[in-house]
Amino acid sequence: MDFVAQLTLFVLAIFLGVELITKVPPTLHTPLMSGSNAISGITLVGALIAAGSDAGLLINVLGFIAVVLATINVIGGFMVTNRMLAMFKRK
């Protein structure tokens, strides 16, 4: 993908993000933060490629670290968000 296409994606996604997030009520701001932590664990995708490649030990070590950190974010983030939101759901 060329740079301009990447930049287009980046800028449009920021606008979309602003539109979406301003509609989240203050009462859900904490779950929003933990949820976006989980989503930013998408770095896991890059981490998987580095950890599973055959590009040498250093790459694999860095990949392993990245996989561990990103997985903590993904699993921890989604689980704790779910735990909080379940408390908001009951009436």
Partner 1 sequence: MQISDNWIDIAYLISAILFVLGIKGLTKPKTAVRGNMLAAAGMGVACVVTLLHRDIVTYEIIIAGVIVGGVIGAILAKKVQMTAMPQLVALLNGFGGGASFAVAAAEFFRGGHPDVVGIIATGAAVLIGAVTLTGSFVAFAKLQELIGGKPMGFPGMKLVNALLLIGSLVAIGYLVMNPGTPLVFWALAIAAAVLGVLLVLPIGGADMPVVIALLNSYSGIAASAAGFVMGNSALIVTGSLVGASGLILTQIMCKAMNRSLTNVLFGVMAEAGEAMDQDEVYEGKIKSTSAEEVAMVLETAQRVVIVPGFGLAMAQAQHAVRELADTIEAHGGEVEYAIHPVAGRMPGHMNVLLAEAEVPYDKLKDMDAINPTFEQTDVAIVLGANDVTNPLAREDKGSPIYGMPILNVDKAKTVVVVKRSLSPGFAGLPNPLFAKDNTLMLFGDGKGAVVDITTALKEG
Within positions 13 to 32, which residues make up the interface with partner 1, using CB under 8 A? 13-18, 20-32
Distance of closest approach, residue 20 Cβ to partner 1, in angstroms: 5
The set of residues, in sequence order, having a beta carbon less than 8 Å from that of 64 and lying 6+ positions away, is 51
Angle between helices 57-71 and 43-52 (to 10 degrees): 150
Q: How far is the CB of 4 from partner 1 (least distance, A)?
A: 10
Q: How far is the CB of 57 from partner 1 (least distance, A)?
A: 10
Return the closest-CA partner of residue 77 out of 49, 53, 41: 41
Q: What are phi and psi for residue 25, nearest 5 degrees?
A: -70, 150
Residues 32-71 contacting partner 1, CB under 8 A: 32-56, 58-60, 62-71
3-state secondary structure of 55: coil
Total of residues contacting partner 1 (CB under 8 A): 82
